[in-house]
Structure 1
Amino acid sequence: MDCLFCKIINGEIPSSKVYEDDKVIAFNDINPVAPYHILVVPKKHYDSIADISEKEMEIVAHIHNIINKIAIDKGFSDAGFRIINNCGSDGGQEVKHLHYHVLAGKKLPNYEANQK
């Protein structure tokens, strides 16, 4: 498979790891848009959230638990953060492996205000 995130998970491409367990890996984005810009990626390959079967959906809950853990560990849970999951080409997904962006460390603009 020629998936960028699978190569990071397999150690073929280096990353600045923030967290890892048997189900997910989290690392700093190489093109951050906030002081904290962390990607949380399941180790099992799913193209997007639309490809997760109902019986495997617990991975999403696990990812959200890990996001909370990272927010507490990094000290931005109280100030707040944004979680983004782009799904498919119209949703802005660039890497076809399910992943969540966690943005924090500054006041983020209101998304809806930017869409007018």
Structure 2
Amino acid sequence: MADCIFCRIVKGELPAQIVYETESVIAFRDLHAQAPTHVLVIPRRHIATLNDLMPEDASLMGEMVLAAQAVAHQEGIADQGYRTIMNCNLAGGQTVYHIHLHVLGGRQMTWPPG
């Protein structure tokens, strides 16, 4: 997707503070951080929403979760605790239509999230 901001980050066309990457996923700091640690884990391949996932994407989703775990350890928030969130479509709070897993920590999270 030529106009997708996350695809442009993956291609190196836009700057991002990358904190973790593999062949399939990349993780970078959110520009609009909602917690002291706020990292986005995205697949390198464009998938617009959770509704667009296919059964063959199961391992990719697992890799995204393992990347979130690795980021939490790397950022020093794993033992204290952290939150992971994926939003889907407008009412779910999705603002960039390229699936992404938020990793938030460094403060006490509240419930409900809002």
- The normalised TM-score by structure 2 is 0.95
| Structure 1 alignment gaps of length 5 or more | none
- Over 2 Å off, 4+ runs: none
Aligned to 1:88: 89
| Structure exhibiting the larger radius of gyration computed from Cα positions | 1
Aligned to 1:66: 67
Partner of 2:14, secondary structure, is coil
Matches within 5 A, 1:72-111: 72-111=73-112
1:49 alignment partner AA: L
What is the alpha-carbon distance in structure 1 between the residues aligned to residue 4 and residue 18 of structure 2? 18
- Does residue 45 of the first structure (1) align with residue 46 of the second (2)? yes
What is the alpha-carbon distance in structure 2 between the residues aligned to residue 36 and residue 20 of structure 1? 17
Shift of 1:55: 1.5
Aligned to 2:20: 19
What is the alpha-carbon distance in structure 1 between the residues aligned to residue 71 and residue 94 of structure 2? 23
Partner of 1:40, secondary structure, is strand
Shift of 1:23: 0.3
What is the alpha-carbon distance in structure 2 between the residues aligned to residue 53 and residue 94 of structure 1? 21
What is the alpha-carbon distance in structure 2 between the residues aligned to residue 42 and residue 93 of structure 1? 16
2:80 alignment partner AA: A
What is the alpha-carbon distance in structure 1 between the residues aligned to residue 106 and residue 62 of structure 2? 24
> Residue by residue, what CA displacement relative to the aligned partner does 1:28-81 show, whole Å, maximum 9, x if unpaired?
000101000000000000001111111222111000011111111111111100
* Percent identity for Structure 1 against Structure 2: 37
What is the alpha-carbon distance in structure 1 between the residues aligned to residue 99 and residue 58 of structure 2? 12
Aligned to 2:3: 2
Residue correspondences, number: 113
Aligned to 1:34: 35
Partner of 1:26, secondary structure, is strand
| Structure 2 alignment gaps of length 5 or more | none
State the superposition RMSD in angstroms.
Answer: 1.1
Shift of 1:84: 0.7
